[in-house]
Amino acid sequence: MRPTCPGPKLLPLRIQGRGMLLFRPTKEKEQGMIRSAASKVMWVGRATVFLVGFSVILGLVFGVATTALSATGGTFILGKANGADRVSKLTASIAGPALTLVNQSTEAAATALNINVASGQPPLKVNAAAGTATNLSADELDGKDESAFASSSHNHDGSYYAAGSKVADSTHADHADSATNAQNADKLDGQDSTTLLPGGDLPKDRTLRGHYNVYDKASPQQGGQENMPISFGYRLASAPTVRIIKANTSPPAECPGTASAPEAASGYLCIYETSSYNLYNSPYRTYPYVYGTSRIGTHIAADSTVNNHTTYDSTFYTYGTWAVTGN
């Protein structure tokens, strides 16, 4: 059998007073009906597109206006400046951060958070019971915990020097009151470094000490004389006053030392004789004696008694210590 080809659809047609009749529309009428239906569908589509686009435009316009005039109770819009006149609070009960900020930029100025406050105001505040922030701990100094440092009230044990005590042999450091730092310590107790070198000025009340030894031989039937210089190595403000303390005699008040520990008052040169032999003494002079005393030194001399021997020389000597103090 040949397949049947469907013909035009039968359309109902009501005729007044005679019931319902069916008729087949012509080809021209059918095409007109299709065009009419398609036209209406396209009109509805254009209207829908218009309404959607209009809604988007209104959203953008009013959205921008809302961002520019954002206020308390408004929507927080990302990428825009937001303002508020009350505290904005985020409360959560979750097993993790309540807020995470991530900035994946590798630019030099890229940060995840920028906090700006008025001058002198703290940028951050946490509750008193808060723990230590990971990777943001101020509990260490240069990588050391507080237990590595002693408190200000700690005096250490016996192996350390107590507060206010002095290190051994540091007595003379007390006079370095003009040294502001080690690099600029060109003065000691107000004295320039040039005065502390040999040939410089001896500071007031500073004491120098030394030894002397006068020794010689007198020929038979003759006397002898010998002397030696004493050089201070520094300059005094003026020539010192000389005091000679013979062996086994008491020193004057201005020479409060001994031959083994010579001392001298300011402006004095004290010569302490330890021992002597065969020295000449007269009502006019006691040996040893000094002459030519100046700011930088003196000479000490000794004379022998007359050698009564006719066959050999006679020895004479004197030796001891001295001290001179700047004036």
Contacts of residue 109, defined as CB under 8 A and 6 or more positions apart, other chains included, come to none
Sheet holding 297-303, edge to edge: 225-231, 297-303, 289-291
What does each C-alpha distance from 27 to 6, 9, 12, 133 come to in angstroms?
14, 11, 16, 85
* Calpha distance 249→245 (Å, rounded): 7
- The predicted model gives 209-233 an average pLDDT of 91
Check pLDDT > 70 for residue 213. yes
Q: Encode pLDDT of 31-85 as tens digits.
A: 666 666 666 656 555 655 555 455 545 555 454 444 444 567 778 888 888 888 8
- Burial code of 18-36, b = ≥16 C-beta within 10 A, e = fewer? eeeeeeeeeeeeeeeeeee
Check pLDDT > 80 for residue 13. no
Q: Encode pLDDT of 145-201 as tens digits.
A: 777 777 777 666 655 666 666 666 555 555 555 545 555 566 666 666 666 666 688
Token pair for 33: 């009906």
CATH number belonging to the domain at 207-325, selected among 1.10.260, 2.60.40, 3.40.50, 2.40.160: 2.60.40
Q: Are 198 and 190 in contact (CB under 8 A)?
A: no
Count Cβ atoms within 10 A of the Cβ of residue 200 and give its class: 0-12 exposed, 13-18 middle, 19 or more buried. middle
Domains of the chain, residue spans? 11-57, 207-325
Count Cβ atoms within 10 A of the Cβ of residue 304 and give its class: 0-12 exposed, 13-18 middle, 19 or more buried. buried
* Calpha distance 323→243 (Å, rounded): 10
Residue 252's pLDDT band, with cuts at 50, 70 and 90, is very high
